[in-house]
Chains A and B, each alone.
Chain A
């Protein structure tokens, strides 16, 4: 059916899609870490909440693209609620405790997902024009996965614009490098931390609803995505967005190609890669804290 060219196209597109999803989840995690030094273990669960909310919205007849806007906002609201209740008091505590707190948050969110949506896998039914496949260079490739690439590109573009051009964006970037200075400029750091957590949650929600139709929506999707996003942000450099872009592409391609050629040991390769990079570049490819 597919010639050798077709296979290469298949794998490359698959890798791009996987890298894109990793990127958006990792960016969300990095925004929260870069700004308020909080490693949110519950980030995977927020990603799952995004997928499930998208499923419910589409199931009640909403158009997929409308859900693409509303679901992240809902997840952002959930993020805001979490930030105000349990993350804010942790501001002055050492990172080990925030790790364990968000670990408990992960348990709580996974349990709630199972309680609200049950155990069975769910599927998001796509609008008609996104279903089916089109042939590119000799292989049938699903239309939706191509559309995902454009959606991801649009989101990244939007985020870059938001960070570089808008006033809030500049404040966020400034406070990632020298938090003390920003607070001296009369900006209430509480809003900055709150904004960072909400923005991170929104990104997790977006990643969830995009990945919904691509992968399985079941209660365990959060946990698995969390470990992959850890691998990405550590290799890219904690808190650095550009590092996350490079790392997401690297991991996306390595994992997909490994899955294709040496199926069994794909994940072992990814972990060895992470270990090597961390061993000789402890700060990751692009180093820490540079928030552009």
Chain B
């Protein structure tokens, strides 16, 4: 069966520096794929290209067989390709509920209704309440997002991406700056998600990656140097070199 999303020789250079160097990457409809690599390996750049934040210099991206290279971000999101950001990017002055509701509304449509009130979009409100309950944010619902604790804001970040019913979800270091308890909580959430939709995780926390990933891709200097199950990657010679440097 055709892969959900795959890239062919995707490249992106910033004035001579090949941040993404002929990367071929593919994922199926479901399951958790992680992308790891030392700092500056081009992980975030790769995600930025696929989710349309920056354009690709060359190469192609296919989603369910159709080419989607360099499409505008809002079209990609409508197709089901959502993402979170490394640095929190949420609607600070809007309430938690509104943060999610607006994502839901953008997905379900109805944004052009000028004269009806927000409540009139019944399905949007109901689905948002379901999501809020699922994530346990019920008691924070009315509070403006900027007043949330950092951990909750990270959860909200993931929630906003989920609100759009994505088919493929890119998570850019969701556990950055989180306490161990919060990390466990969010990894449980990510694992649960991976059972329903395809999740691509960019992460530094090795134990987390090794414990919950189905497949792992390792990037270095913009190229894919290894791919496979967590077991294969742990024993892979090149990966150890990339991280620990060559033994003299």
Q: Do chains A and B touch in the complex (CB under 8 A)?
A: no
A residues near B, CB below 8 A? Answer: none
Q: Which B residues contact A (CB, under 8 angstroms)?
A: none
